[in-house]
Chain A
Amino acid sequence: MDQRQQIEELVYRSSLALDEGDFTGFLQLCDESFRYSVTAFSPEIRKDMTWLDHDKAGMDTLFTNLPRHNSDHSPLTRHVTVYTVSSTGERADVVSALQVFRTTLDGGGTGLFAVGRYHDTVKLGAGAPKLLKRVVRMVTREMGAGYHIPF
């Protein structure tokens, strides 16, 4: 498998893990210094906003606490397409299109929930590539009741 293919597969596997609620599997794809954030630009206040920002331990805690909360249990399906991969030796910057679909439990109707992009930084090396950083850049800002599991 060439490097580009390995990187693409990492991005796709991370989405599959989140879709399946396999949070341990997701975190295994992340480096120890992993940083995850969700950001958006608000045309209303004309500012960049951060909606979520955690290191790897923070993401682990977020996932661990999930069963203690009341949450929308409608499953999400992430559709990701890797657009660009820019490698610079030990790292690669990856930009992917992201669409998130939400399917109702009662009836199974599916609707578009959010669109945006993944801006990933991938650590390259001897072993399998790992996610160093993921910035989910949201285009959608209106998500009704929101959601407890990040994209």
Chain B
Amino acid sequence: MAKNSVAWGAKPKFPSSHYVDSRIYTDQSLFDEEKEKLFKSSWIIACHESEIDKAYDYRLFTHPTGVPLIIVRGEDMKIRSFYNICPHRGNTILYDPAGNAKRMTCIFHAWSFDARGNCIDISRGEQGYQDRYCKEDAALREVKAEPGFGGFVWVNLDDASCTLKEYIGPALDMLEPHMQEPMEVFHFHKATVDTNYKLWHDTNSEFYHDFVHYFNRITGMMQPGYFDRKYVGYANGHASVGSMEIKYDAYAGSKKRAVGWPGLAPGGWILIDIFPGMTYNLRTSVLRIDTVVPLGPNKLIVEFRGLGLKSDTPEQRTERIFDHNTIWGPFGRNLHEDLLAVMGQGRAMHEGTDSRWVIHGREENSTIHDEIGMRHFYAEWSKRMGRPAYDPFREGRQEPARAVA
């Protein structure tokens, strides 16, 4: 029987760990709080070291809190990160998303900075500031930056944060043996979609949604071993899903893949989610990395990277690119379906739609269709936010009062 408004608003018949109040996906005040409590002190992937290969190579990255960052390799080959904000009049220093700049010069008044964040020139400084202000006063704001875990450049805005190693803990141990060879980014694109960043990360944290993917049903769900894949939760909200062999030849027009990946069984697949919004997805011959950059409660940029090995022959690289594009490129079979699905959630769940709850109630011994990955994420979310995800405003009521469109 269909529900009336009382039944629709009643709490789901699950333990409070098995559902969340859908306002965590729509409320602006919660979103603002997430930036401060979750993203500011988390280690976030800004780029890969192969994107800034040479001295003075730089890459721009808009941090999920909104802070514009420069990631730059110095003449000492050390990677550092700074606010992309001129200390003079608050202008953007570098505009192009990547490049090589021995001097980083603000176009506005030509103040220049080196790759260590020092101000090396204030145009007509002495004439204007005399001895009241000098280059030493005008350094850039440095942010913690550290390459690691496959050569990705991680940043952290919190000067007092834990180390990257402490933050990741053992979460990426399953992948470490497969990330010993130098890698290289061959694909990058952004997708801007109307949804909440957590809904994207949720999609990377549960495989029950393989029902949306014809490719995954045919090559995975219908194959032996699929239902044996297990979730493991780690400290700080990270989670992994074990491997299986994907039967690529089960999809019409596809075939067994020849290139593979060091140490990974043929057709293997390992996925690891890093709190609060990054995913390592190693599948057969390609490592895909997702990084969320939330713009609002219902607006999100996802940065997608595809990586191969630096040592690839042209033929090997071509095959990796083909594998990547078949499911993950902008015209890929799976990525489009995943993005459609989370946009559908954003459409049904934005402020005023009277969406009430999102259920994470499946229990299947932590295997592939268990929703423990999301439960693990929201336990960490609740801890860091100081609010339970099932009752974020601590109302404890049966029927949350809210505007209905």
B329 at the interface (CB under 8 A from A): yes
Contact B189 A145 (CB under 8 A): no
Binds B, one of A26-34, A40-48, A80-88, A127-135: A40-48
Q: Which residue of A lies closest to B218 (CB)?
A: A68
Contact B331 A150 (CB under 8 A): yes
Q: Which residue of A lies closest to B187 (CB)?
A: A49
Query: A99 CA to B275 CA in the complex, in Å?
Result: 39
Contact A58 B253 (CB under 8 A): yes
Task: Give A52-92 interface residues, CB cut-off 8 Å to B.
Answer: 52-53, 57-58, 61-62, 64-65, 68-72
Given contacts A44-B97, A65-B253, A69-B337, contact A50 B188 (CB under 8 A): no
Cβ–Cβ < 8 Å partners of B215 in chain A: 69
Query: A91 CA to B280 CA in the complex, in Å?
Result: 45
Binds B, one of A8-16, A17-25, A118-126, A136-144: A136-144
Query: A43 CA to B97 CA in the complex, in Å?
Result: 7
Contact A53 B331 (CB under 8 A): no
Cβ–Cβ < 8 Å partners of B335 in chain A: 146
Interface size class of B (residues with CB under 8 A): 35 or more
Binds A, one of B16-24, B190-198, B288-296: B190-198
Q: Which residue of B lies closest to A142 (CB)?
A: B190
B177 at the interface (CB under 8 A from A): no
Query: A89 CA to B192 CA in the complex, in Å?
Result: 46
Contact A146 B59 (CB under 8 A): no
Cβ–Cβ < 8 Å partners of B322 in chain A: 53
Contact B339 A145 (CB under 8 A): yes
CB-contact partner of A52 in B188, B191, B325, under 8 A: B325
B172-209 interface bits toward A, Cβ cutoff 8 Å, 1 = contact, 0 = none: 00000000000001111111110000000000000000
Name which of A42, A49, A53, A147 has the most chain B CB atoms within 10 A of its CB: A49
Q: Which residue of B lies closest to A65 (CB)?
A: B252
Query: A44 CA to B331 CA in the complex, in Å?
Result: 19
CB-contact partner of B212 in A53, A70, A142, A143, under 8 A: A70
CB-contact partner of B329 in A51, A62, A145, under 8 A: A51
Contact A68 B336 (CB under 8 A): no
Contact A144 B187 (CB under 8 A): no
Dominant SS among interface residues on chain B: mixed
Contact B214 A68 (CB under 8 A): yes
Q: Which residue of B lies closest to A138 (CB)?
A: B330
Cβ–Cβ < 8 Å partners of B51 in chain A: 44-46
CB-contact partner of A144 in B188, B193, B333, under 8 A: B193
Cβ–Cβ < 8 Å partners of B59 in chain A: 44
Cβ–Cβ < 8 Å partners of A65 in chain B: 214, 251-253, 333
* Minimal beta-carbon separation of B7 from chain A (angstroms): 29
Interface size class of A (residues with CB under 8 A): 20 to 34
Cβ–Cβ < 8 Å partners of B214 in chain A: 65, 68-70
CB-contact partner of A145 in B96, B190, B336, under 8 A: B336
Contact A71 B336 (CB under 8 A): yes
B340 at the interface (CB under 8 A from A): yes
Cβ–Cβ < 8 Å partners of B98 in chain A: 43-46
B332 at the interface (CB under 8 A from A): yes
Contact B191 A53 (CB under 8 A): no
Given contacts A143-B330, A144-B192, A146-B330, contact A64 B252 (CB under 8 A): yes
CB-contact partner of A70 in B187, B190, B252, B340, under 8 A: B340
Cβ–Cβ < 8 Å partners of B96 in chain A: 43
Contact A146 B185 (CB under 8 A): no
Q: Which residue of B lies closest to A71 (CB)?
A: B336
Contact B253 A51 (CB under 8 A): no
Cβ–Cβ < 8 Å partners of B186 in chain A: 45, 47, 49
Query: A43 CA to B266 CA in the complex, in Å?
Result: 33
Contact B188 A49 (CB under 8 A): yes
B374 at the interface (CB under 8 A from A): no
Cβ–Cβ < 8 Å partners of B168 in chain A: none
Q: Which residue of B lies closest to A67 (CB)?
A: B214
Q: Which residue of B lies closest to A59 (CB)?
A: B253
Name which of A38, A45, A70 has the most chain B CB atoms within 10 A of its CB: A45
Cβ–Cβ < 8 Å partners of B190 in chain A: 141-142
Q: Which residue of A lies closest to B253 (CB)?
A: A61
Query: A72 CA to B189 CA in the complex, in Å?
Result: 19
- 11 residue pairs from A and B, CB less than 8 Å apart: A44-B51, A44-B97, A44-B188, A46-B51, A49-B186, A51-B330, A53-B321, A69-B214, A141-B190, A146-B335, A148-B331
6 tightest Cβ-Cβ pairs between the two chains A and B: A61-B253, A145-B339, A146-B330, A68-B214, A146-B336, A44-B97
Binding site for A on B (CB under 8 A): 51, 59, 96-99, 185-193, 212-215, 251-253, 318, 321-322, 325, 329-333, 335-337, 339-341, 343
Known: A58-B253, A146-B335. 6 other contacts (CB 8 A): A43-B96, A45-B185, A46-B98, A71-B337, A144-B339, A145-B191
